[in-house]
Amino acid sequence: MRNLLASKPSKFITDVSGRRHFLGPTSTWSYTQQVTILIKNYLKNPDLPKVALYPEGQASVLEWPSTNSIGPLRLDALPSLDFALYLTNTVKFHFGQLYHLFHEKTFMADLRKFYEQGPYAEPLPGNRLWYIHFLLIMAFGHALLSGYVARRPAGSELVTRAIELMPDAFALNQNPVLASEILCCLALYLQSIDHKNGAFLYVGQAMRLALSQGLHREHIGSNPPDEDEKRRRAVWWTTYILDRRFSSLLGAPNSIRDEDITVPLPDSERNGHSAKATGLQVALARLHARVSSTIYGNDMHLEADYLMNAREVLKSMTDFAFDLEKTFGMRFDDDRPISRVSATLNLYYHQCVILSTRPLLYCLLRQLLSDPMSEDNGYLETTEPIKDLLRAAQDSATRSLRILMALQSQRLLESFLPFDLESTFSSAFILSLMAALPSCPLEDTTEVDTGFYLLNQMIAKGNVIAEFRREDLEQLINLLHLLGAEISHQGSLATNAVPASTAADYDQTIPTQLGDVGAFNDLYSDQMLSLAGLLELDPAFDHVDEQWLCS
């Protein structure tokens, strides 16, 4: 059995402007395109609208200096000192425990110095790096507070000027730690406005800069490490985490082997909660990398076994699940407020499970469409390991959407940063697909309604990228209904289970079935342990005939 998403030949599509796009194996956007195209090719209906291909950044227009130079900013484009402090603290609140985007002591000292001197003009080249950093932090603060203004990301003019002032490689190398902070900050902003390739290039530059300075290696010095060494380590691990996340979202391979990294993680004994969060996020990034390199690795051998790789990855995740639940577990059966950090880590974990099982759903869909009248389409229903892999996907998607609903109920749902949107869309998408496949144990599609509700909440706050994701989800559901009508064999497609809702049904009102999240508790470690044990012990697992899948 092979992962058809990673098998040769590689997949490319061309958008309306004639530009070719690589469908990266681990990319959610690429997965959406491949599933949609597969269904449309089966339907052969010329009246169906073409698959929507939105060029990068179409949802969020950014004036790049290469196309429209804006020159020095007017003074009224910069915030006052008190507002600048507020914007800085906003960025600190959203990122402080998970990402290192600036060194607070140094940045705040330079900020006050900048305002004491005017600000009447942009700094001279000698202090330009800090000014670029300042513009990016201010832009992020504006975006986190206001989202989008007239369909443009708040603070975008500051980002454009920062890019315009960005120095060459020689100047960046004069202050590599500050330069890496700047590049990570810019990459995360671009990822948030759907400029995925630009984000990937800038975080890649930060990674190369960090590697060239040996930030990935241990440094013999004071113990505990001094302030400068703490900053270097924080810069490295933020660069590492963002590089791994953006690589997975784009479908690109990992840029560095974990065996080559010797710099220690932050000491949780001395640095507390934040250090523990960083350590778990690094572990999650490594799990994602393992998924990318094994389950989605280049299929050079016909006998490459997706199921065997999935088993090994899921077994590794059971150990991690215990650590995550112990420190950042989530329960909704009391009145305690939800932790944004815990939610972020749990969502990242569940996305790893979903990523591991997406190839199986695609293969089931392909098998169904290859011969919808065949009685063999029910074969996998008798194979317990396959059913448990599907249950793991359903379970993680459901938990993700309920965590996101809890965040929304406490006004913690991110409407600008990309990761909540990614979790919402990918979870709702696979649940919609599972509802239409006879081999999947999904009967209740209530959680898809949750996905529409959450997308509409993001759209109401101005997130124009969420509009495109909502269109993609609606298109899938419409195609699944058409597919159900096309396949005449009784029971070949679970048409009654396909979600009937559209985005308009959940504009501002919470779906009635979702009002009580208190009944939900995250006990995923037990579920994952049970799954891993089954995969280890079931003798049928090692003898699944790959011909059920390949045409």
Of 142-151, 476-485, 521-530, minimum mean pLDDT range: 521-530
Confidence band, pLDDT 50/70/90 cuts, at residue 519: very low
Greater model confidence, 138 or 58: 138
pLDDT of residue 382: 43
Greater model confidence, 305 or 58: 305
**Residue matched to tokens 């939900």:** 520
**Length of the chain counted residue by residue:** 551
User: Helix, strand, or coil here: 59?
Assistant: coil
> What whole-number percentage of the chain has pLDDT above 70?
77
Sign of CA dihedral 293, 324, 246, 251: positive
Return d(Cα 91, Cα 113) in angstroms, integer: 20
Identity of the residue numbered 138: M
pLDDT of residue 338: 86
pLDDT of residue 460: 92
pLDDT digits (tens, 9 = 90+) for 479-505: 998 888 777 544 555 544 566 655 455
Average pLDDT of the chain, as a whole number: 82
Mean pLDDT of 278-283: 93
pLDDT digits (tens, 9 = 90+) for 446-475: 889 999 999 999 999 989 999 999 999 999
Per-residue pLDDT for 288 more than 60? yes
Q: What is the DSSP letter of 514?
A: G
Among 535, 492, 530, residue whose Cα is nearest residue 306: 535
CA distances from 274 to 42, 223, 243, 277 (A): 50, 19, 20, 5
Among 244, 275, 272, residue whose Cα is nearest residue 258: 244
Question: Omega into 224 within 30° of 0, i.e. cis?
Answer: yes
- Phi then psi dihedrals of residue 286, to 5 deg: -70, -35
- Three-point CA angle 453, 355, 369, nearest 5°: 85
Most confident stretch, 85-89, 158-162, 168-172: 85-89
pLDDT of residue 119: 65
Are the C-beta atoms of residues 446 and 502 closer than 8 Å to each other?
Answer: no
Of 187-191, 219-223, 231-235, minimum mean pLDDT range: 219-223
Tokens for 435? 């509802």
- Three-point CA angle 478, 480, 484, nearest 5°: 120
Domain limits, the chain: 12-25+296-323+335-548, 75-274
Return d(Cα 250, Cα 30) in angstroms, integer: 8
Are the C-beta atoms of residues 338 and 412 closer than 8 Å to each other?
Answer: yes
Task: Provide the total of helices (H) and of strands (E) in the chain, helices listed first.
Answer: 17, 4
| pTM of this structure | 0.90
List Cβ neighbours of 319 (8 Å cut-off, separation of 6 or more).
none
Confidence band, pLDDT 50/70/90 cuts, at residue 530: low
> What whole-number percentage of the chain has pLDDT above 90?
45
Mean pLDDT of 91-115: 93
Are the C-beta atoms of residues 292 and 502 closer than 8 Å to each other?
Answer: no
Sign of CA dihedral 188, 189, 195, 199: negative
Strands 152-153 and 12-14 come out as: unpaired
pLDDT of residue 337: 84
Return d(Cα 149, Cα 154) in angstroms, integer: 6
User: Helix, strand, or coil here: 140?
Assistant: helix
Measured from the Cβ of residue 373, the count of other Cβ atoms closer than 10 Å reads: 9
Return d(Cα 202, Cα 35) in angstroms, integer: 30
